[in-house]
Structure 1
Amino acid sequence: MSASNPTLITFVIYIAAMVLIGFMAYRSTNNLSDYILGGRSLGSVVTALSAGASDMSGWLLMGLPGAIYMSGLSESWIAIGLIVGAYLNWLFVAGRLRVQTEHNGDALTLPDYFASRFEDKSGLLRIISAVVILVFFTIYCASGIVAGARLFESTFGMSYETALWAGAAATIAYTFVGGFLAVSWTDTVQATLMIFALLLTPIIVLLATGGVDTTFLAIEAQDPSNFDMLKNTTFIGIISLMGWGLGYFGQPHILARFMAADSVKSIANARRISMTWMILCLGGTVAVGFFGIAYFSAHPEVAGPVTENHERVFIELAKLLFNPWIAGVLLSAILAAVMSTLSCQLLVCSSALTEDFYKTFLRKSASQVELVWVGRAMVLLVALIAIAMAANPDNRVLGLVSYAWAGFGAAFGPVVLISVIWKKMTRDGALAGILVGAITVIVWKHFELLGLYEIIPGFIFASLAIYFVSLMGQPSAGMVQRFEAAEKDFHLNK
């Protein structure tokens, strides 16, 4: 690989900029709250773009365009489900969770919030939810490291082992040094890069294929059913794809952005920015895959890599249609998508280990400086475990990622949603919700019942468990009082 390669130079500049942001954030990190929640200081723009970038991994620029390229618009149901789910999460959870976490012991993590909200003196809620986070997110981190390694491997011709460390090193560096602020600031840059790539690329592909009419005629000539939203779908199939949206209510790395907003007043503006970003990005993603059908049917001589692996459609279009320097910037957007999600996942795991295990059970009197350094050590520990899991990219454990989203969505989603809108929810209801949601997902996935995506029954059964178990008990006067004070605060300031 030549040192004068424009793509390599662009990647190096981009990675150096992310690490520099990490060192800038280091100067603003004085205590554990700063390290794992940015001192609750994020404005609406950073909250919005950070939530979006942490959500959308390499799937946005590789997986979804590839699926659209292969099957046409029928694969876009998942994008519709995600947009609806993200909007409802911003509408019902974001502002309320920001206020509830502050009123409930100024909670810094999701397990911390559950323990304070439901006055769980036993520590059971905290331990179970922290374990769920650690198990699923360590697997998630491994998948992110594999995606980064695959990108470096295919772009620079590196061996997989070298690419593994090259892809992971930069993300680990800025997360380790700068914590939540570094992750949020870099997410904002990465979200900007991703939307630039996803708006520019389909426009250039459209121009290269002769405009809208010619492109649509070429897609239709290749296969008229590419335009059919119901092609090869069933009612259960569509519901399953739309069901992905339910996952948003329970994703710790997205919920952390809501908790870190500087005030409830920022949430409404952040929602508008984030949803605009998300709709444009998903629209651009679908367009890249869809217009790619026309481009490669007109240029079969360059279609080899995409025929071999349809997830390379964005990569190949960027290489073929753009100046190498611009292509380097566009390909950096894939790295941005991978890094933004991986960094958030590393930090959430570090937060669970530091706040919910180390500080709570081992060193209650630990100083803030000690806790920040323990947090940094936990980032390294989780990263090394994830790299070890990713060392064999065909390891079966990475297949678990396909239902990790469902696991979080069903185990935490109903608990978070109901806890911020219903004052009569109890600790036993929360425990029942987490356990029923997680167990339903695992059992449903194992038996592949009805062909229905496991998050849907998991979410429904967990919600019913929360409701009926909560009715069997009674929340304490303190729980109701804090809930009502937070709800009043939310309505006064939203």
Structure 2
Amino acid sequence: MALNVPGLVAVLIFYVVILVIGIWASRKSKKEEKTCTGSKSEVTIVGGRNINVFVGIFTMTATWVGGGYIMGTTEAVYVPTRGLIWALGPPAHLLGFLLAGLFFAKPMRSKCYVTMLDPFQYRYGNMFTAMLLVPALISDILWVACILSGLGGTMSMILELPSALSIVISAAVSIIYTVLGGLYSVAYTDVIQFCFIFVSLWLCVPFMLLSPAITDLAQRPHINQTSEIPWLGEMELADAGIWMDEFLLVTLGGLAYQCLYQRVLSAASSAQAQITCFAAAGTVFMMGIPSVIIGAVAASADWNQTAYGLPPPYERGEAVKILPLALQYLTPNWVSVLGIGAVAAAVMSSMDSVLLSSASMFTQNIYRTTLRKQASERELLWVIRGSVVLVGLAGTGLAFGDDSVFALWLLSGDLLYCIVFPQLACVLHFRHANTYGAITGYVVGMLLRVVGGEPVLGIPPVLLYPGWTEEDGVIKQHFPFRTLAMLSSLISVVSVSWLLELGFSRQVIPRSWDFLGFFKENEGEGEVQEEPLPLEEKNKTLNTKL
């Protein structure tokens, strides 16, 4: 097939529009920096804490509805061995955002934190904060690779454009406007991208349903089906542990992303932050519906009636490309181009957020507090920009692999679920948590996760849990070992913290053994910083002084 010139022109025009909006928003960011009385780097990171509630909802939704979400959901529904029951994204994120609004948004926003790592820095100090940055950074890089991989496959399929070139162009556009405008550019481009994703994906659905290759959504031609409606999927009892593991990973692992708290902390108040989370729960779920329908249509299509022919994509090992394949062969050309635009918009709306989140954590919690305590605001802004470029390059490099988008999407939240989530839950809701418990929980969570193995990375399991099986030389763990690692980490933090506090307070353990200095009577001697007061208490103090 020849290069799809009209489609390529349309996509390039879309990229130019996004870039122009990003540059316009960067000018707004610079104006805010000039009028800002506080830290200019915080304008870049949290937008001066005055992001409009509607913009907040749009950017929160657009961030989560990325290439991994759209293509991963479609892939899960299409694959015969999985189906709708395994499309975990929409229901898991719905529950995740509700939990975020109920239990995490208010304690984070009320104390005016700048990043997700701030509460750890105030309570545990710089060393442990740096330890937590490692899994967070790895997850962000994997997320970038996931969404760029999905875009590269889609563009190469429909536009006949080399996948590598598609990845590089998309990454470059996202990096440029993120570097220029920080959260303002990210938020305002997300509004346009969200609208485009919504319109384009829903427009593709009726054309697919009306395709001549679709005769009965209850049939899967050319593949032996074991259920009345094949794309609904089945789950054997032996796989219940895997399903629970993956569902909780997406739900709770999503609560440990800096991208979430970047939007929460940019809200004007705690109430607005909670409203943003609750609204995003509905919009993210709704945005997953077109992907589910496209996956079901692709599963029911008679591919022999299309130019693709037989065998179907699953038998050719191309299930990972099912969304672009469905767009190309089951819709008119101009509709497939719109679908490409939707994927491109989804990719950039997630990528820019991930880039900024990693750069924000490194600059605020490592560079500013440890490496260069006397750094100027101008220097911090350049560190943020440099970090954005480096994370973008790292994720782009990994995007050239052929791994499943769905697998990369799950893997990006793996370490956050097993290590960061239990730490975040404890530091926000368990007032007795201390550095000793946190380090113990970190080690326990990391160790149990690593010994469980990871097929995507080719890491064989060291510990075989009950119910494991071996398929084609690859060991498959049916036991929910990720959840075990998470719960073990959580229990370790709580139990070790409580026992040591009890031991030191009752002098069962000599104070001289407190080598980390957490229990020193003079808190100023330690590395731990004074935690900010909640906004409500600050206002009471100010009113009293006046």
Whether the TM-score (by the shorter chain) exceeds 0.5 is: yes
Query: For the Cα contact (< 8 Å) 1:209–1:294, is it kept in 2?
Result: no
Aligned to 1:54: 63
Aligned to 1:186: 189
Measure the CA separation in 1 of the matches of 2:428 and 2:535. Answer: 9
Q: Please give the secondary structure, in 1, of the residue aligned with 2:413.
A: helix
Change (3 A) 1:153 1:288: closer
Equivalent residue for 2:248, pick from 238, 243, 252: 243
* Uncovered stretches (5+) of structure 2, i.e. residues with no partner: 34-39, 454-460, 467-476, 502-517, 540-546
Query: For the Cα contact (< 8 Å) 2:148–2:167, is it kept in 1?
Result: yes
Matched, 1:312 2:321: yes
Aligned to 2:416: 408
Q: What amino acid sits opposite 1:68 in the alignment?
A: V
1:267-288 Cα deviation digits (max 9, x unpaired): 3432342122122122222121
Matched, 1:80 2:80: no
- After superposition, residues 236-315 of structure 1 pair within 5 angstroms as 236-244=241-249, 245-296=251-302, 299=305, 301-303=307-309, 306-307=313-314, 308=316, 309-315=318-324
- After superposition, residues 26-425 of structure 1 pair within 5 angstroms as 26-27=26-27, 28-29=29-30, 30=33, 31-71=40-80, 72-77=83-88, 79-100=90-111, 102=112, 107-116=113-122, 118=123, 120-121=124-125, 123-208=126-211, 215-218=216-219, 223=225, 225=227, 226=230, 229-232=233-236, 234-244=239-249, 245-296=251-302, 299=305, 301-303=307-309, 306-307=313-314, 308=316, 309-320=318-329, 322-390=331-399, 393=401, 402-425=410-433
Paired residues in the alignment total 478
* Between structures 1 and 2, the one with greater helix share: 1
Change (3 A) 1:46 1:306: farther
Measure the CA separation in 2 of the matches of 1:173 and 1:296. Answer: 43
1:403-425 Cα deviation digits (max 9, x unpaired): 33110122111222233333333
Q: What amino acid sits opposite 1:165 in the alignment?
A: V
Aligned to 2:436: 428
Matched, 1:449 2:465: yes
Change (3 A) 1:250 1:438: farther
Q: Percent identity?
A: 21
Measure the CA separation in 2 of the matches of 1:228 and 1:4. Answer: 35
Q: Please give the secondary structure, in 1, of the residue aligned with 2:68.
A: helix
Measure the CA separation in 2 of the matches of 1:79 and 1:399. Answer: 16
1:227-272 Cα deviation digits (max 9, x unpaired): 6553456321331232231212212222222122221121343234
Measure the CA separation in 2 of the matches of 1:150 and 1:210. Answer: 23
**Residues 46-55 or 138-147, more deviating:** 138-147
Offset of 1:456 from its aligned partner? 0.9
Change (3 A) 1:138 1:279: closer
Aligned to 2:19: 19
Change (3 A) 1:18 1:430: farther
Matched, 1:469 2:496: yes
**Residues 352-361 or 447-456, more deviating:** 447-456
Change (3 A) 1:484 1:318: same
Measure the CA separation in 2 of the matches of 1:395 and 1:248. Answer: 21
Q: What amino acid sits opposite 1:461 in the alignment?
A: S
Q: What amino acid sits opposite 1:267 in the alignment?
A: A
Aligned to 2:448: 440
**Residues 2-11 or 463-472, more deviating:** 2-11
Offset of 1:388 from its aligned partner? 4.0
Query: For the Cα contact (< 8 Å) 2:117–2:365, is it kept in 1?
Result: yes
Q: What amino acid sits opposite 1:10 in the alignment?
A: A
Q: Normalising by the residue count of structure 1, what TM-score does the alignment of the two structures yield?
A: 0.85
Change (3 A) 1:142 1:389: same
Change (3 A) 1:453 1:6: farther
Change (3 A) 1:487 1:422: farther
Measure the CA separation in 2 of the matches of 1:235 and 1:127. Answer: 36
Change (3 A) 1:331 1:227: closer
Q: What amino acid sits opposite 2:200 in the alignment?
A: A
* Uncovered stretches (5+) of structure 1, i.e. residues with no partner: none
Offset of 1:155 from its aligned partner? 3.2
Measure the CA separation in 1 of the matches of 2:336 and 2:20. Answer: 23
Query: For the Cα contact (< 8 Å) 1:426–1:470, is it kept in 2?
Result: yes
Query: For the Cα contact (< 8 Å) 1:149–1:166, is it kept in 2?
Result: no
Query: For the Cα contact (< 8 Å) 1:78–1:241, is it kept in 2?
Result: no
Q: What amino acid sits opposite 1:24 in the alignment?
A: W
Q: What amino acid sits opposite 1:88 in the alignment?
A: L
1:105-137 Cα deviation digits (max 9, x unpaired): xx3222233112x1x34x212211223323332
RMSD: 3.5
Aligned to 1:8: 8
Q: What amino acid sits opposite 2:60 in the alignment?
A: A
Q: What amino acid sits opposite 1:314 in the alignment?
A: L
Offset of 1:320 from its aligned partner? 4.3
Q: What amino acid sits opposite 2:490 in the alignment?
A: S
Measure the CA separation in 2 of the matches of 1:281 and 1:489. Answer: 39
**Residues 169-178 or 339-348, more deviating:** 339-348
Measure the CA separation in 1 of the matches of 2:436 and 2:536. Answer: 22
**Residues 265-274 or 381-390, more deviating:** 381-390
Aligned to 2:486: 459
Q: Please give the secondary structure, in 2, of the residue aligned with 1:110.
A: coil
Measure the CA separation in 1 of the matches of 2:266 and 2:437. Answer: 26
Query: For the Cα contact (< 8 Å) 2:138–2:412, is it kept in 1?
Result: no
Measure the CA separation in 2 of the matches of 1:472 and 1:353. Answer: 32
Measure the CA separation in 1 of the matches of 2:344 and 2:408. Answer: 22
Measure the CA separation in 2 of the matches of 1:278 and 1:129. Answer: 27
Offset of 1:33 from its aligned partner? 0.5
